Every structure is written in C-alpha cells, then in structure tokens.
C-alpha cells in the first residue's frame, strides 16, 4: 500500500477515535450506541493499517483487540435483539 494512503488511513483512525470520545464525553452519544462502537472500530482499522505498515506490534495488538471488542459488542447485541 502506498505510504501516503497508509498515513491518511492512520490519521483517519485517530480522527474516528477522538470523535467517538468527544461525542461520548459531550453526551451526544451513549456508550451503548452502535455509532459509538462503529466509530471506534473505524478508528481501530485505520490504526491497524498504519501499525502494520510501520511494524508497530504493540499498536497493532491493542487496536486489534479494540476492533474485536467493538465487533463482538455489536454482534452480541444483534443476537440478543433478534427474536427467537
């Protein structure tokens, strides 16, 4: 992947993380909101790409965990809300 694209995706990840935290902190989003989790997942994806390109293993691991938590949260909520 071209370095410029990697940098853009990495910085986009930062923007998504900060936006999610800002919206949560100001009460515009709740922690239970799917949008909050999607913003965090988008942030994680951007930073995972950047970490992979820069061989930054600690950043890669923590953001992979963050992405997994967001994905599992949305998945479990969908399963619980699905009529049996």
- Determine what percent of the chain is predicted with pLDDT higher than 70: 96
Compute CA distances 49 → 2, 36, 63, 80, whole Å.
11, 20, 10, 31
pLDDT single digits (tens) 18-69: 999 999 999 999 998 999 999 999 999 999 999 999 999 999 999 999 999 9
pLDDT single digits (tens) 1-22: 999 999 999 999 999 999 999 9
Q: Per-residue pLDDT for 83 more than 80? A: no
Which residues, other chains included, contact 12 with Cβ-Cβ below 8 Å and sequence gap of 6+? 42, 46
Domain ranges of the chain: 3-81
pLDDT of residue 81: 85
| pTM, to two decimals | 0.91
């Amino acid at each position: 992947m071209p370095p410029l694209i990697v940098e853009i995706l990495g910085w986009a990840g930062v923007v998504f993380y900060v936006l999610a935290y800002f919206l949560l902190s100001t009460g515009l989003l709740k922690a239970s909101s799917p949008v909050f989790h999607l913003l965090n997942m988008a942030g994680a994806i951007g930073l995972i790409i950047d970490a992979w390109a820069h061989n930054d293993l600690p950043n890669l691991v923590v953001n992979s965990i963050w992405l997994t938590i967001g994905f599992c949260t949305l998945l479990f909520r969908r399963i619980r809300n699905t009529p049996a």
